């Protein structure tokens, strides 16, 4: 499985023989990390590579997971949203502040 940050990297990884391409690094190689998952990258990879595409990175809600599957993802990794108590608590506290 190749973890990629952009369409070009995903295409190159698939051409090099990756069995899966994942969007794991999207948004984490620049200066700022976006809040939302990169659904556009998932869709672009699905169009451009013949191997399965795994959506990963900043998936927090069921709606975001549905969007990834609608874009053609083979699977969606939900990590921090369910495994990191500090991040979960921080997110809930921020939601309370917005009330």
- pLDDT of amino acid 75: 98
The 10s digit of each residue's pLDDT in 10-52 is 999 999 999 999 999 999 999 999 999 999 999 999 999 999 9
Domains in the chain with CATH codes: 2-97 (3.20.20.70)
Any alpha helices (H) in the chain, and if so which ranges? 7-15, 39-48, 62-70, 80-83, 85-97
Nearest alpha carbon to residue 75 among 15, 19, 17: 19
pLDDT of residue 80: 86
pLDDT at 9 over 90: yes
**Which of these, 25, 33, 31, lies nearest to 9 by C-alpha position?**
25
d(CA 64, CA 48): 22
Q: What is the per-residue pLDDT across 46-76, written as a single tens digit (0 to 9) for each?
A: 999 999 999 999 999 999 999 999 999 999 9
pLDDT (0 to 100) of residue 87: 87
Q: Residue 82: its pLDDT value, please?
A: 87
d(CA 8, CA 79): 25
Task: State yes or no: pLDDT of 77 exceeds 80.
Answer: yes
Global pTM? 0.88
């Amino acid at each position: 499985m190749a973890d990629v940050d952009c369409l070009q990297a995903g295409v190159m990884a698939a051409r090099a023989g990756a069995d899966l391409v994942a969007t794991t690094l999207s948004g984490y190689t620049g200066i700022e990390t976006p809040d939302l998952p990169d659904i556009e990258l998932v869709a672009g990879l699905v169009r451009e590579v013949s191997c399965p595409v795994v959506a990963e990175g900043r998936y927090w809600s069921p709606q975001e997971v549905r969007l990834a599957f609608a874009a053609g993802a083979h699977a969606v990794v939900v990590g921090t949203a369910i495994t990191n108590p500090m991040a979960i608590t921080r997110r809930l506290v921020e939601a309370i502040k917005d009330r």
